[in-house]
Amino acid sequence: MNNKIYLAIIQIAVLCVLFSCASPKDVLLFQDIDSLEQYSKSKQNNPTIREDDQLIITVSAPDMEAVRPYNLLIETRPTYTSRNTTLDSRSQQQTYLVDNDGNIEFPILGRLHVAGMTRSELVDHVRTLIMKDVKDPIVNVRIVNF
C-alpha cells in the first residue's frame, strides 16, 4: 500500500511539473516609458463644447470689484413664513446655455462663439478678452451637464 501512495505522489508531482511550466514573460518596467506617455496623452478625456451644453464661467482677479460685472449671480428672494421670519436666501452662479449656433451671451463681452472649443481653449479665449480691461484675470469654466 505504501508503494501505491508513493507512486501516486510521484505521478501527481510529475503532472504538476509538466503542466505548471510556462514560458517566462517579458516584464516591461521602464523600458517603454516614452510610448506610455504618448498613450496617456492620447487617452485624456478633453471634450469639446457643443450645442445645449451648460457652462458656468467664473471670473476672479486680485481686484474683485473690477470683475464683478463679468459674474452674473442669480439671487433667490427671501421667503417669509407666517411668523414673518425669513428662510434662507441664496445666490448662485449664472449658467450659460450654448445655443443652436454654438454661442453664449456673456456679460460685457457679448456674444461668444464657444462650440468646438475645449474647456481650456475657452478659458484662454475669455481670459484674453477680459485682459483688455482687468489686470491678471482668473477664468474658470465648468461644463455642468458633462
The 10s digit of each residue's pLDDT in 110-137 is 999 999 999 999 999 999 999 998 999 9
36 lies in a domain? no
Give the CATH number, domain containing residue 129: 3.30.1950.10
Say how many C-beta atoms besides its own lie within 10 A of residue 53's C-beta.
19
pTM of the model: 0.60
Q: How many domains does the chain have?
A: 1
114 lies in a domain? yes
The 10s digit of each residue's pLDDT in 6-59 is 888 888 888 777 776 666 566 556 666 666 666 555 556 778 999 999 999 999
134 lies in a domain? yes
Q: What is the pLDDT of residue 49?
A: 92
* Cell, residue 128: 484674453
22 lies in a domain? no
Domain that holds residue 128: 54-143
**What does residue 55 show for φ and ψ, rounded to 5 degrees?**
-120, 145
